[in-house]
A and B are shown apart, each in its own frame.
Chain A
Amino acid sequence: MSLLEVANLTKSFSTRRDFLGRRTGWTHAVKDVSFTLDAGECLAVVGESGAGKSTVGRMVLRLIEPDTGTVVFDGEDVRAAKPARLRAMRRGMQMIFQDPHSSLDPRMTVEDAVIEPLIVHTDLDRATRRARAQELLDKVGIGSRYLGRYPAELSGGQLQRVAIARALTLEPKMIVCDEPVAALDVSVRAQVLNLLRDLQEELGLAYLFVCHDLALIEVISDRVMVMRSGEVVETGTVDQIYTAPSQDYTRQLLDAIPVPVPRAARPAHPA
């Protein structure tokens, strides 16, 4: 059985109300999306803006309530869980957000941010918590001298590492990564992606990797799910998608990736 089984997930948002106050102007952000994720696997959810990929990620964690559909994580129904049970379930499924400067509370130190999950879910004492924080920061490549610093004092790349450390605190089985490197500089992206890959191998993590940049996906994913306007266009292994995409849209996306080879010097484009 897969770690995560998602079936017929649907979500619509309304932005307008008519004169009677009823909601109108529904946008179907996600339409009937289904997929599975195995333990230790990385499934990339790719698409352009408005494809609904972020919404899917958030629905899996039930940060947004799906309209219909089922989400089963580790054998348990996420949608049916009562609030207390849901909070407990969150130990196993964590999230890393796009902009580390806003996903970390600016008024909390690095240490506070990383150990917060421990405060919420366990009753370890302060010393143990601090030791764990140091251990985690080491793992993500941040020195323990940053424990007492505030987010404003760190760079984007460093902060994202802190966010990753925070996500690892409770030893989750799955992490939903929502565009984790989009807000980072190019040279830093490689560092963070390598880190995510290494952690996956070391800890056997499963990733639901939401990303708009097809070029990045190959480095870290096993399987790819292409979305467009809320629907799944195509799913396949990384090799399948890159070398033999079956859908035109996928091909369009692949072609549009800017290739860092100056035009004049490019060989003739293979058919």
Chain B
Amino acid sequence: MATTDTLVRPDRAPVDPTTPLLRVRDLTVQFPAGRKEWVTAVDGVSFDVAAGESVALVGESGSGKTVSSLAVMGLTGDTGGRIARGSVEFDGRDLTKLPHKQWQGLRGTGMGMIFQQPIRSLNPAYTVGDQIAESVRKHLGLDRKAAMARAVEMLELVQIPRAADRVREYPHAFSGGMCQRVMIAMVMACNPRLLIADEPTTALDVTVQETILDLLRDLQAQTGISLLFVTHDLGVVAELCERVVVMYAGEVIEDGRADEVFFTPQHPYTSGLLASIPRPGISTDRRLTAIPGRIPAAGEWPAGCHFHDRCTHAVAGLCDVTHPSLAATAAGRAARCLRVADLQLEGVSAS
């Protein structure tokens, strides 16, 4: 399509694992708790996103996935927290060492973020076109006319029909799925290289979700953008992502290629999560396998392995005492489990 030429990068390289676009190392984020005390929400998180790759950051509430993604965007301070240690390297530069303004500048042109409820991220008082144009003018310095043309172009990119007309409409005229497309358009307008999506489809209907996922897939194919997809929905992960980083209670507990993690998980939590997903036609006795217990809140993480008190494979004296580190188990795979060598865990079946 001619209209998207400006976004297609002729020099788009295939996924190159040796020079990751995003390198998060030992990221630790804390939040204030009472006077002069800090509680750790995310502890020593490390993962990579290569250029053109789509990586899923998977976890439930309290896993730290959203906190981590906000930290990558440099929004930790805005949420009241602080990065206690660690680095976030984007394109070789450590963002945590940059002054706030520079990190802010990078947002938009380097990386963009879309959130769960798009209607909340859009200003109801301005037209959709104005909002996209404003973002474009600010980051790319285009004049009004060019910016508006860009806005129309973006709406077409996200497959909104009659883009030239709809660019003049206000957010309330768009449905949930359409709003999310508008958000994607707004973020893509400045040519970012990394798109962080935090539960973008959770609030949408299933059929709409499918269309958004298709759109993201198309965008990736067309523009070579990298995708960091933060979600709790493993089904969505399977649809879209090549690599999976699983988080639990503030830590990365498993990391690997999607098919490897889904079929042969190496951490009991991952295995348990996969087993608790209802799949029509699969569960014959119609009973779901549930992980007993509940997720510990930040500040209440148990000693030793964070998961041991819910783990059916935990060994007393080992798992409740020693805190496992994230160890590489194969090329491109890692798991945080003391028993990883012994366990044969069940993943999903391929049928």
Contacts and interface: CB of A to CB of B under 8 A. Distances in A.
Whether A and B touch (Cβ < 8 Å) is answered with yes
B31 interface: no
Interface stretch (B139-147, B288-296, B317-325, B333-341): B288-296
18 contacts: A155-B294, A156-B61, A185-B60, A185-B232, A186-B60, A186-B232, A187-B276, A188-B290, A193-B278, A194-B290, A218-B280, A243-B281, A258-B233, A258-B235, A258-B238, A259-B235, A260-B279, A261-B350
Interface stretch (B94-102, B149-157, B166-174, B204-212): B204-212
Contacts of A48: 205-208
For chain A, which range describes its interface: under 10, 10 to 19, 20 to 34, or 35 or more residues?
A: 35 or more
Contacts of B61: 156, 185
A193 B277 contact: no
Given A48-B205, A258-B209, A194 B263 contact: no
B287 A219 contact: yes
Contacts of A261: 238, 262, 348, 350
Contacts of A258: 206, 209-210, 213, 233, 235-236, 238-239
Interface in A247-271: 252-267
Given A258-B238, A260-B235, A187 B263 contact: no
Contacts of A264: 258-259
A190 interface: yes
Consensus secondary structure, chain A interface: helix
B60 A190 contact: no
Contacts of B234: 186, 260
Contacts of A213: 206
Given A48-B207, A258-B235, A259-B238, A187 B290 contact: yes
Contacts of A219: 278, 283, 286-288
Interface residues of B, number: 44
B290 A257 contact: no
Interface in B282-325: 283, 286-292, 294-295
B237 interface: yes
Interface in A33-55: 48-49
B274 A187 contact: no
Nearest to A215: B278
Contact of B276 (A49, A186, A267): A186
